[in-house]
Amino acid sequence: MMIRATEAAIDLGAIRHNLGVVRRAAPGQKVCAVVKANAYGHGLVEVSRALEAYGADWLAVALVEEGVLLREAGVRAPILVLGGAVNRGFAEMVEHTLVPVLFDVDQIPRLAAAAGGRRIAFHLKIDSGMYRLGVLPAELASFLAALAKYPNLDLDGLCTHFARADTTQDRGSVAEQLACFKAAHAQLLRAGHTPHLLHVANSSATLLESAAHVGMVRPGLVLYGLDPRGPEHARDLRPAMRWTTRPVRICDVPAGGRVSYGGHWTAARPSRIATLPVGYADGYVRALSGKAQVLVRGRRAPVVGTICMDLCMIDVTDISGVSLADEVVLMGAQGSQEIPAYELARWADTIPYEITCGVSDRVPRRHTSEAEAQE
C-alpha cells in the first residue's frame, strides 16, 4: 500500500547496464553481485531476482537472514554469506544451501555440527591487512589443522577484502594485500586444498586492478550506478535509484519568520515555504538540514530549517507556480538537473553508500524493468 507520495524508483535496466560495465572491465571473471543491506537500499529480493535473470554467477549477502529471505523468495543462484555466522545461523545456512565465509577457527566445529555428516562447501577469508574479519596469515596453519578433523567440510573458495582499493593515492597497499592473499593460496595448495573460486576484487578493484581479477569479482556499489572513487569516475554508470516526493503544504512566511524546530532558519524576506512528507525516519538525515537542495520544476530549491522525523521544508520563493501536485526530487534527475547521491553525501559529510543504504523501509521501492522504462 502506498498512500504517501514519497517513493524510491529503482531502475532495473540501469542495474543491468552496470553489470555489463563490470563484465567489460573484468572479462572472463565470474561475477558475485553484492546485494547486502537491502541491495544497498535498492530492494533485496527484487534486485536479486533481476541480477539472477541478468546472469550474475553468484550473489553475496552479509547476513544469514538475508540469504534465507532470498531462498524463501525463490532465488536459486549460489549465495555467499560474507558475514558468515558466529554462534548461531549455521543450521540455517545448511538448510537453505547458503555458502558461509569462515573467518575464525572456532567456526569449523559449529559448521560441521550443523552439517551432520553432509558435505558442505565454504569459503575461507584471509585477513590480508584490513584487520576486520579473516584468518590472519600466522593463524592459517592452525585453521587448516583444525579443518583436517572434518573431511566433510570442503574449502571451496578463498577470499580477502581490500582496505584502500578506492583511492588512487595508495596503490601499494592493494599490492601488499594481494601478495598476502597469494601467499595464503600457495599455503593452501601445499596443504592439499584446491579452492576453485578465488575472489578479492570489490567495486574499485574490479574496475581498476586487473591483477585482482583472480577468478571472480565482487562488485557492490558500482552495480547501483555509483563509483566509490567519486562521480568523475562514474560516467559509464547509470544510477539506479531516484527518490521523489510531493509537497503536502505550501505557505507564505513573513520576513523574520523562523522555520522548524529551534527556529534555526529565519526568512530574510517574505518567503514561500513548501513542506515535504519526508524526514530523518525515511533516511533524509538531519545532517542535511540547511545544506541540501532538491529539484522542483527542474530548478534547485534549498532545504531550510531543521529536518524533522517525518517532514522537511524547502524554500520555493524563486520558483513560480509550485503546487501540491509538483514532483520534488530528493535524489536523481529532473529535466537537465540532477541531485546525485555523491552530492547528498557531501552535504551530510558521509559516503554515497550510507545515503542509499539509509533510505529506510518506510519509503516504498517501485522497481521498473527496461520495458516499463521505455513505455
Dump the DSSP string for 33-97.
EE-HHHHHHT-HHHHHHHHHHTT-SEEEESSHHHHHHHHHTT--S-EEETT--SSS-HHHHHHTT
**15 and 253 in contact (C-beta within 8 Å)?**
no
Which residue in 182, 261, 280, 284 is the catalytic one? 261
Helix axes 44-53, 64-72, angle to 10 degrees: 70
End-to-end CA distance of the chain: 23
Residue with cell 552479509: 62
Q: How far apart are CA 315 and CA 326, in angstroms?
A: 14
Q: How far is CA 245 from CA 3, 274, 282, in A?
A: 11, 12, 12
284 is catalytic: no
Which residue in 36, 40, 224, 353 is the catalytic one? 36
Q: How far apart are CA 17 and CA 21, in angstroms?
A: 7
Q: How far apart are CA 271 and CA 318, in angstroms?
A: 9
Amino acid letter for position 124 = L
Write the burial class of residue 201 (CB in 10 Å: 0-12 exposed, 13-18 middle, 19+ buried): buried
Dump the DSSP string for 119-148.
-EEEEEEB-SSS-SSSB-GGGHHHHHHHHT
Q: Give the angle 17-20-25 at the CA atoms, nearest 5°.
A: 135
353 is catalytic: no
Amino acid letter for position 339 = I
User: Nine-digit cell at 299?
Assistant: 530548478
**H/E element, 287:** none
Catalytic residues: 36, 261
